[in-house]
A and B are shown apart, each in its own frame.
Chain A
Amino acid sequence: MKLLIIEDEIELLIAISNYLIKENYLCELADNFASAREKLSTNAYDLILLDIGLPDGNGLELLTTIKEHQEKAGVIIVSAKNSSDDKIGGLDRGADDYMTKPFELAELNSRIKAILRRRRFEGNSVIKFHEMAIHTDNKLVSIHRKNIKLTKKEYDLLLFLLINKNRILTKETIAEHLWQDNIDMADNFDFIYTHLNNLRNKIKNAEGTDYIKTVYGMGYRFTDS
């Protein structure tokens, strides 16, 4: 999978690309409008991460270039402004998603995967991990080829953990992903235990392995090691 990351803050650009390289993506970088446009008109990408706040041009205008040259690519707009105008404008011009800074790398990963799944569903709509399979097009989860019944939140939780497998996720990160804007940062997020425990029990009842490991009581990791 080939990604183009357009971001004018070098540190952010490096942090994001380091992370995505670890996730086995091929990353190309552009830190200004001109080089981004040049790259967009010569190479083909599967996904483009576009910061619209560029110093030498409005990133939203790059969407036109993307439409011309990158038919197959998914686009995630990244903006520091949580502006509904930018959001609607971007989505109208063909962007797939919109993220506001600061965001979590795990969240970014989960959104990238979701777009890639949607864009090319040939065989990619099923995420497998040992005996576990998540059928993302009909939101079904099976263990040892037997479907298990999950609530919407449990499904989202499992998908998020699996996509970010081997990563340590704090409970705040998980809560933010599951409840998004509905969550107040001052809240106590212990309530995700309820969902986690229900999920663990359902997996165990289906004779699956509990891959969800607790890290020092503050975070979780989905891993088989």
Chain B
Amino acid sequence: MKFLTKINRSYFITLTIVLLISSVLGYLILHQVILNETKEALLGKVNLLKQQISEVGEIPNLYPEIEVKKIHRLDKLGATFKEIFIYNAEEDEMEPYLEYSAQEKIDDSFYSIQLRQSTFENEDLVVILALTMSLLLLSSFVILFVISWRINKTTWADFEQNLAEIENFDFNKKTTLHLMNSDIEEFDRLNRVLTKLTQKLKSDYISLREFAEDASHEIQTPLSIVRFTLDEILQLNPGEKIFEKVVVSINALKRLSALNENLLLLTKIENKQFKADHTISFTNLTNRKLEEFDAVLQMKKLTIETDFIEDFSVSMNQQLAERMFNNLFSNATHHNMENGTIKIQIKKNEFEICNSGSSNTLNNETIFNRFARGNSKSHGLGLAIVKNICNTHSLDIHYTKIDLHCFTIQRNKYK
């Protein structure tokens, strides 16, 4: 809910409640005021009537307003007021009256006096009140709406613009956060805090990135020196025993640099340093890679089964797409058995690679973790890299096992 909507809504609710209560109160007060006024008017009339009777001696009668009767003696003392309803034939409805009744002694005669005066009809009163109140409610809401619309146009516009700026802010871009200053202190305070925070975050982010890259850089140089030296020893043809040891060392070194490179790659993927600037067709990619890996398949005596129902293309980074395929494919060959199979199926929005292998089902939860190693030779980063590539390209990957071990990549439906 927008801030203004929220304010408008609570204002509207409060206003309605206040107006409802004040309507009820207003009704009660008005009713009482009218009653009092009518009473006073009636009392005035009574005096006039008494004067008339004593001076003129004539008994006036005007139903229903004035009813005077001569009586023999006084039955009761004091005057009473009563609210009554009298049928009005003309309008065919009961009308409210305030009735004054008293027994009086005027010039040695006794009279029963009943004076009535029509009061406001309650219904009318309610209608008038309701009308006034809703008019008030409507007009104040219109005014409020106009005011908030104007505020939105002016004050909130800056805020909205700043919000959009923050939303589009990317640490990878070389721009800094530019927030507009407004004449509202709270907003400016927020801007100052945000600017400071992003600057700090950005410098942390850059130094972290640089650290990862510099560390990798610094590791690669001594690795190169060791590798060149070992290679020199190798070229001296030092005899089988030493030769074997040197080859083992070189290969261990290669694994170390591969590990280093893969860790760096993971960091770069997580930092979103790769642009998805190619449309990758999984069918083309698969065909190209299968040709590339033909020797591997022949050597391991693996059978490839492909089923391309419909092409699946994704906007991806070329290098990462290749890496993703390589890792999945290496995985499928590594954990395979002699004369095993690899099945690749591509259909709309889905790429699936399955391989024969051990009968154990792997854990879908932990298999994509870093250093979750399938065997002692691998470094356990292959699938973590695949998972990260998927995450940054709005793709989902999951593992299932029915007959074969399958990895399925699908377009993420929620993005």
Contacts and interface: CB of A to CB of B under 8 A. Distances in A.
Interface of A: 9, 11-12, 15-16, 18-19, 53, 80-84, 100-105, 153, 167-168, 170, 172, 176, 179, 181-182, 184-187, 190-195, 215-216, 218-219
B228 A15 contact: yes
Contacts of B224: 9, 12, 101-103
Interface string B327-358: 10010011000000000000000000000000
A94 B225 CA distance: 28
Contacts, number: 114
Interface residues of B, number: 51
B327 A184 contact: yes
10 nearest A-B residue pairs (beta carbon): A191-B299, A185-B258, A102-B224, A15-B228, A80-B217, A186-B378, A101-B220, A184-B330, A80-B220, A191-B295
Interface string B242-261: 01100100110111011001
Contacts of A19: 228, 232
Given A186-B379, A216-B240, A193 B235 contact: no
Given A184-B330, A185-B255, A186-B334, A192 B295 contact: yes
A150 to B, nearest CB: 14
A179 B221 contact: no
A111 to B, nearest CB: 15
B223 A102 contact: yes
Contact of B326 (A16, A82, A184): A184
Contact of B228 (A12, A168, A190): A12
21 contacts: A11-B225, A12-B224, A15-B228, A15-B229, A18-B232, A80-B221, A81-B213, A82-B261, A102-B224, A102-B257, A167-B235, A168-B234, A176-B254, A179-B292, A182-B292, A187-B296, A187-B333, A194-B295, A215-B237, A218-B243, A219-B247
A216 B243 contact: yes
Contacts of B221: 9, 12, 80, 101
A74 to B, nearest CB: 21
A216 B292 CA distance: 28
Contacts of B261: 82
Given A12-B224, A15-B225, A182 B322 contact: yes
A194 B247 contact: no
B377 interface: yes
Interface in B207-245: 213, 216-218, 220-221, 223-225, 227-229, 231-232, 234-235, 237, 240, 243-244
A83 B264 CA distance: 10
Q: Helix, strand, loop or mixed for chain B's interface?
A: helix
Nearest to A103: B224
Contacts of B243: 215-216, 218-219
Nearest to B226: A102
A81 B221 CA distance: 10
Contact of A187 (B217, B234, B235, B330): B330
By CB atoms of chain A within 10 A, which of B224, B229, B255 has the most?
Answer: B224
Contact of B255 (A15, A170, A186, A216): A186
Contacts of B229: 15
B192 interface: no
Contacts of B378: 184, 186
A172 B254 contact: yes
B330 A186 contact: yes
A12 B221 CA distance: 8
Interface string B299-326: 1100000000000000000010011001
A27 to B, nearest CB: 15
